[in-house]
Structure 1
Amino acid sequence: MAINAVLFDFSGTLFRLEQDASWLADVRGNDGAVLDLEAQTELMRRMTAPVGQVVDLDEEHRHAWQNRDRDPALHRKVYLEVLRRSGVPRQDQAEALYQRLITPGEWTPYPDTEAALKGVSRTGRKVGVLSNIAFDIRPAFAQRGWDSYVTEFTLSFEVGAVKPELEIFRNAVERLGVRAAETLMIGDSEEADGGARALGCEFALVDPTPTVTRPDALLGALRAHGLL
């Protein structure tokens, strides 16, 4: 069946949270020392991992982790705990880093994000953004004028379901007014985004590597499915 709509994941697919050098320059760990590059890289990974518990958590915070993308309050609660357990003991520094995480303008688009969104839209196909997220990512698109290419945003905290639950994929394709079988889902997580297959969607996996090392994976996925 012909593909008439494309759903894109957000984090690790269209955009990536990549810290400015100043973000962690003054962050000090439990020993009082500034975090080294390896520790900084691991901290950012933990803040953006799409699936899997990234630190040991007590029962209260495990519940918050499991439901973080359904409820902004739980999202804040558990990520501040993740930062604390990842070697950021000062509350003010953890709060500052968390604000970076939930500020759409701090996220960096992949080099081919605009071309991918524009390319699909200009073929007359519908474009959706489907994300497990606890904050509104629309400003990241609007500030670049890319919101005009997106037909619908389906965000987990707004619909009360998370990938890979079928409900959120069903919600997304219904918003686009298409059938699952004519929809391609592009994402960076086989476990979360790949769940679209269970509804009948096609799926393409991209690697959530740093933006400078992944110049055209989105365009490649679209071309592989004959969409460009």
Structure 2
Amino acid sequence: MTFRAVLFDFSGTVFRLEQDETWLADLTDHEGESLDIEAQTELMRRMTAPVGQVVDLDEEHLHAWNHRDRDPVLHRKVYLEVLKQSGVPHADQAVALYTRLIDPTQWTPYPDTEAVLKGVSGKGVKLGVLSNIAFDIRPAFGRRGWDAYVDEFILSFEVGAVKPEPEIFRAAVERLGVDPAETLMVGDSEEADGAARAIGCAFALVEPLPTTERPDALLSVMRAHNVL
């Protein structure tokens, strides 16, 4: 199969929000105690999980959770609640951590991201970044000059649809001007990203491991599917 386009998920696929001790060192719980390493790790997991409700929510916050990636206001509202329920009860600390979460310059690329983006683009294959997200991730690419390799950014809060809904995948292939059958979706969620198969795309799964533990998964996928 010859692919004319590749779609990449963002979080856990080409970039990752890494656990940074400097972000979490000053966080304290309800008793004023610092969060231990297990609590810090769980906190980061909850803030970046691609699918699944991570805490119990009332009706108001459940609505915000279900629509968080369509509306930046709802995204902020529900993640501040998630932080509150995850051992960060102090509003100032929660806001500071949330602000870092939505700063695309704070995200770390995987070691092979640049080589893959450059290689795919250099082959003349259309390249899109397709993400369930409520903030603009273009600066993460632009500050490195990698935006030159990306033909389209398809972001849920701009499109008004989220994975696994077929509408967002259709929007992606339409913008790239390709047929779904000629498109490979690469992501870290079988449920969200794998839904691209419903419109006829192929799908490849990568694990959202820390960047230091996943040096070449993207390159391996591209080679396995004869893109590179």
After TM superposition, the score normalised by the length of structure 1 is 0.99
SS at match of 1:23: helix
CA distance in 2, matches of 1:105, 1:198: 33
Alignment of structure 1 residues 76-115 onto 2, 5 Å: 76-115=76-115
Q: Matches of 1:185 and 1:30 in 2, distance apart?
A: 42
Contact 2:2 2:227 (C-alpha < 8 Å) held by counterparts: no
Question: Per-residue displacement from partner, 1:112-131 (whole Å, max 9, x unpaired)?
Answer: 00011011001010100000
Per-residue CA deviation, residues 185-210 of structure 1 (Å, 9 max, x unaligned), is 00000000000000000000000010
Partner of 2:212: 212
Counterpart for residue 58 of structure 1: 58
* Same amino acid, percent of matched pairs: 76
Letter in 2 for 1:37: I
* Alpha-carbon distance between aligned partners in 1 of 2:123 and 2:22, rounded to the nearest angstrom: 41
Q: How far did residue 20 of structure 1 move?
A: 2.2
Q: Secondary structure at the match of 1:129?
A: strand
Letter in 2 for 1:107: W
Q: CA deviation at 1:216?
A: 0.4
8 A contact 2:64–2:74 mirrored in 1: yes
Structure 2 spans left out of the alignment, 5+ residues: none
Q: What's 1:227 paired with?
A: 227
Q: Counterpart of 1:122 in structure 2: which amino acid? A: G
Separation of aligned partners in 1, 2:31 and 2:202: 48
How far apart, in 1, do the equivalents of 2:204 and 2:19 lie? 27
1:61 aligned partner, one-letter code? H
Q: CA deviation at 1:19?
A: 3.0
Q: Does 1:193 align with 2:172?
A: no
User: Gaps spanning 5+ residues in structure 1: where?
Assistant: none
Q: Write the deviation string for residues 4-55 of structure 1: whole angstroms up to 9, x where unpaired.
A: 1000000000000013221000100112110000000000000000000000
**Contact 2:2 2:226 (8 Å CA) reproduced:** no
Q: Which residue does 1:133 correspond to in 2?
A: 133
Matching of residues 35-74 of structure 1 within 5 Å: 35-74=35-74
Supply the distance in 2 between the matched residues of 1:190 and 1:156 (Cα, whole angstroms). 18
Q: Aligned equivalents of 1:203 and 1:221: distance in 2? A: 10
Q: 2:185 and 2:203 mapped to 1: Cα distance? A: 5
**TM-score scaled by length of structure 2:** 0.99
1:116 maps to 2:111: no
Per-residue deviation at 1:79? 0.1
Deviations 1:94-122 (A, max 9, x none): 00000011000000000000011011001
Give the match's secondary structure for 2:50. Answer: coil
Alignment RMSD, CA only?
0.6
The residue type paired with residue 80 of structure 2 is L
Runs of 4+ deviating beyond 4 Å: none
Query: What is the one-letter code of the residue matched to 1:30?
Result: H
Residue equivalent to 1:17: 17
Please identify, of 75-84 and 17-26, the stretch whose mean Cα deviation from structure 2 is larger: 17-26
**AA in 2 matched with 1:15:** F
Per-residue CA distance 1:151-190 (angstroms, 9 max, x = gap): 0000000010000000000000000000000000000000
| Cα deviation, residue 219, structure 1 | 0.5
Partner of residue 176, structure 1:
176
Q: Distance in 2 between matches of 1:109 and 1:54?
A: 25
Letter in 2 for 1:121: S
